[in-house]
Amino acid sequence: MIYGTSYLPNYFPYMGFENSYFNNMYSTYMNRQVESRQEEVLEPMQQKIDNYQNRKDIYNEMESKLNTVFQKADQMDEKSDFDEYSATSSNTDVLTASANSSTREGSYDLSISNLAKSHDMLLGVDDGDSTTGVTAGISDPSDTSMISDDTTLSFYHNGNEYSYKTDSETTLNSLASRISDAENGVYADVVNIGSDSSPEYVMKLGSRETGAGEKRITTDSGGTNPGVNFSSTLYSGNSTEQETVQPGENSAFTVDGTSYTRTGNTVDDVIEGVSLGLLQEGKSATVDVTLDKEVIADKASDLVSAYNDFQSFVNDKNGVSAPLTNDSLAGRAANEAEEIMTERVVGAIGEDYQYLSEIGIHTSSGDKLEFDHSQFKEALENNPQNVRELFTGDLGVAGGLKSFVNEYSKSYNSDITEKIQSIDEQLQSLNDEYAAAENNMGYYRESITQKYSNISMNMVGIRTSGILLNKFFDVWG
């Protein structure tokens, strides 16, 4: 019979397929459909978001470059920014010298007759010989029995009186520690003026500051009588002897023949803006104060470098096929900065130098500038006031650059700030659209899944019908 079961495979080849085959086939199909929709909808949106984020990053970096230009210009905007001086000593073994911006150029001859010294003294046991000074002490500085009980030691320093009372627990060591630990401007040590085999421990008392008068340790508030007051003897059974080891002295020196005395060896109030360090007495040296052209040149060099960095950045981002191609803001900013650095400086009209190119800041390749240290320092040597006027004030280069940066970057309503705010708004809108599209993509996947489920149910029905037909033909075959 032509309708026998042997012919069924030719007419119903699909009747015996497995569900797993269909599942795999349709899963692949469904994933391709979803991927196609993502490529069509989500990927272009993500590309647009990435482009806007890239532009925002570029504007943020441009703002950073401009802020660096502002910082370097700010170091040359005031006249005091050019008051950079150095002070040198002809003999640094005799004295040192340093200068600040308040000084002026000059040469000074100094002669040191005396160095300031601190007041140091010994407190020992009286050996009965008034001509030898302190030669005796106690054998054990940790022995309480060697220090008198209820004795008050007092002295004046810097016009203030300080008192220390002993008790039965006081040792020479503990008394010295109490004096040193107090805020009195005085130190106290226990020293052995004898030998290791036959020690003689005494107290060494000294001022932490150099100078005469109140800087010394004295028995009176006026600072005239060096020494220490005792209510009774310090050492048990022995009288106390005092000896000045080093008298407190002021420094004494002359500057260009004028005599000066100071309590210390660091002097910063004789030559305006110059700090002197006195090192050797009985010696002379010369101090020369000059304009520090190297420091000023370094400031100018830093400004040129910051400007070049900004111009290179704009050129790199604003070229052909670059992220900011034909961007009017970036191009306009670069052009304005170039004009400030290369055109005649209004604040110097009528002077010898009216262009930065005349003092060593020349245009090189492209929009970049090159800095000639030697020419700049030569201009400073020839006419420092003119060089100063090229940069300072509202009409100078530094002031012009600061105003330019404020317009484009630093103020809350500056051009770059507004540009970044605009990009942020666009990014927010795009991110919202992307989130909505992602949500719709979920609905799309659910729709395809439902279609698959319906087809699967239909296939199950077809398969069931096929089985029944096969049985029918088997029966009638």
Confidence of residue 469 (pLDDT cuts 50, 70, 90): low
Residue 324 class from Cβ within 10 Å (0-12 exposed, 13-18 middle, 19+ buried)? buried
Angstrom distance (rounded) from CA 282 to CA 163: 39
Confidence of residue 8 (pLDDT cuts 50, 70, 90): very low
Angstrom distance (rounded) from CA 2 to CA 6: 9
Phi then psi for 369, rounded to 5 degrees? -115, 155
Phi then psi for 216, rounded to 5 degrees? -85, 170
Residue pair 221/159 in contact by the 8 Å Cβ criterion: yes
Angstrom distance (rounded) from CA 304 to CA 308: 6
Which of 438, 432, 431, 441 lies closest to 49 in space, CA to CA?
A: 431
Q: What is the residue whose two structure tokens read 């495979």?
A: 9
The answer for 348, left when phi > 0, alpha when psi is -120 to 50, beta otherwise, is alpha
Tokens representing 419 are 């540009």
CA distances from 336 to 366, 367, 417 (A): 15, 11, 18
Q: Which residues contact 150 (CB under 8 A, 6 or more apart)?
A: 165, 166, 167, 232
Task: Answer whether residue 79 shows pLDDT above 60.
Answer: yes
Average pLDDT value for the chain: 87
CA distances from 52 to 43, 63, 323, 400, 419 (A): 14, 16, 10, 31, 11
Q: Which residues contact 193 (CB under 8 A, 6 or more apart)?
A: 122, 124, 134, 135, 137, 200, 201, 202
Average of per-residue pLDDT across 391-409: 92
Angstrom distance (rounded) from CA 398 to CA 390: 8
Tens of pLDDT, residues 355-383: 999 999 999 877 789 999 999 999 999 99
Cβ atoms within 10 Å, residue 309: 15
Tens of pLDDT, residues 286-338: 999 999 999 999 999 999 999 999 999 888 887 655 666 667 788 889 999 99
Task: Answer whether residue 473 shows pLDDT above 70.
Answer: no
Confidence of residue 4 (pLDDT cuts 50, 70, 90): very low
Task: Answer whether residue 9 shows pLDDT above 80.
Answer: no
DSSP-derived pairing of the beta strands 283-291 and 369-371:
unpaired
Residue pair 60/284 in contact by the 8 Å Cβ criterion: no
Residue pair 333/417 in contact by the 8 Å Cβ criterion: no
Handedness of CA 432, 434, 440, 446 (dihedral sign): negative
Decide: helix, strand or coil at residue 413: coil
So what's the pLDDT on residue 466?
Answer: 59
Q: What angle do CA 139, 145, 149 make, to 5 degrees?
A: 125
Tokens representing 39 are 């490529």
Angstrom distance (rounded) from CA 476 to CA 472: 6
**Strand order through the sheet with 160-165:** 160-165, 152-157, 229-230
DSSP state, residue 407: I
Task: Answer whether residue 24 shows pLDDT above 70.
Answer: no
Tens of pLDDT, residues 148-195: 999 999 999 999 999 999 999 999 999 999 999 999 999 999 999 999
Tens of pLDDT, residues 107-136: 999 999 999 999 999 999 998 887 789 999
Task: Answer whether residue 241 shows pLDDT above 90.
Answer: yes
CA distances from 391 to 320, 345, 353, 374 (A): 35, 8, 11, 18
How many residues are there in the chain?
477
Handedness of CA 386, 389, 390, 395 (dihedral sign): negative
Residue 45 class from Cβ within 10 Å (0-12 exposed, 13-18 middle, 19+ buried)? middle
**Strand order through the sheet with 118-125:** 186-192, 201-210, 118-125, 240-246
Average of per-residue pLDDT across 258-280: 97
- Report percent pLDDT > 70 for the chain: 82
Phi then psi for 392, rounded to 5 degrees? -90, 160
Confidence of residue 17 (pLDDT cuts 50, 70, 90): very low
Task: Answer whether residue 36 shows pLDDT above 90.
Answer: no
| DSSP letter for each residue of 277-300 | EE--TTEEEEEEEEE-HHHHHHHH
User: For residues 413 and 189, which has the higher predicted lDDT (pLDDT)?
Assistant: 189
So what's the pLDDT on residue 439?
Answer: 77
Tokens representing 307 are 């400007």
pTM > 0.95:
no
Cβ atoms within 10 Å, residue 83: 18
